[in-house]
Amino acid sequence: MKGSVIYHSRYGNCKQIANAIFEGLKESGQDVTLADVGTLSALPKDLEFVVVGSPTRAGHASGPIRKFLKKVDGPPLKFAAFGTALAKWLPKGDATAAEGISKILKEKGFIEIVPPLRSGVAGRKGPLAEGELEKAKAFGKAVAAELASDRASAPPAAAPPAAAPQGDGAKPAE
């Protein structure tokens, strides 16, 4: 499927995560591009899915990603969210960019296909915590597997056909 990994990164950590997700998607055969949000004025045309991420800023997604997402007005695509945050705060369950992005896109009717990925950094400028690049690549592969399955796009179970009117009320054909 055709998609894009769109990210913002101030110090380069989220960019590395975006690139690892991109690699995971590409290795799984997805037709995917990688884009720094600063190079985009709108969602690229004809996408079927997006993977969006940013660093965490005061518990939210970063300004450039929020500004970009504010302008997005469909069509509602399948999506997955990710973000970097201080590793020492992650176990406490503090809000991060990943959940923030997920919430914004869900409110726009986008369809989340896997839970958000939270990647830890050791300090404000990094580096990434150990194992985060491997997890990000696996996340890309998990997104691809979900896209390849019918789960993300299956229509709701069909309702049984309505019974044809019988007897009363039905006018006999002339």
Ligand X SMILES: Cc1cc2nc3c(=O)[nH]c(=O)nc-3n(C[C@H](O)[C@H](O)[C@H](O)COP(=O)(O)O)c2cc1C
Q: Least Å distance between CB 78 and ligand X?
A: 24
Among 3, 4, 5, 13, binds ligand X (CB under 6 A): 13
Among 49, 57, 79, 142, binds ligand X (CB under 6 A): 57
Among 126, 133, 138, 145, binds ligand X (CB under 6 A): 126
Strands 2-7 and 49-57: parallel
Any contact of residue 63 with ligand X (CB under 6 A)? no
Any contact of residue 19 with ligand X (CB under 6 A)? no
Q: Least Å distance between CB 16 and ligand X?
A: 8
Of the candidates 108, 18, 112, the one whose C-alpha atom is nearest the C-alpha of residue 70 is 108
- Rounded CA gap, 112 and 88, in Å? 27
Among 1, 28, 34, 89, binds ligand X (CB under 6 A): 89
- DSSP bridge pairs for 112: 79
Among 4, 19, 30, 56, binds ligand X (CB under 6 A): 56
Q: Least Å distance between CB 108 and ligand X?
A: 23
> With respect to ligand X, which residue has the nearer C-beta, 14 or 52?
14
Any contact of residue 12 with ligand X (CB under 6 A)? yes
- Which residues of the chain form contacts with ligand X (CB under 6 A)? 9-15, 55-59, 84-86, 89, 96, 121, 124, 126
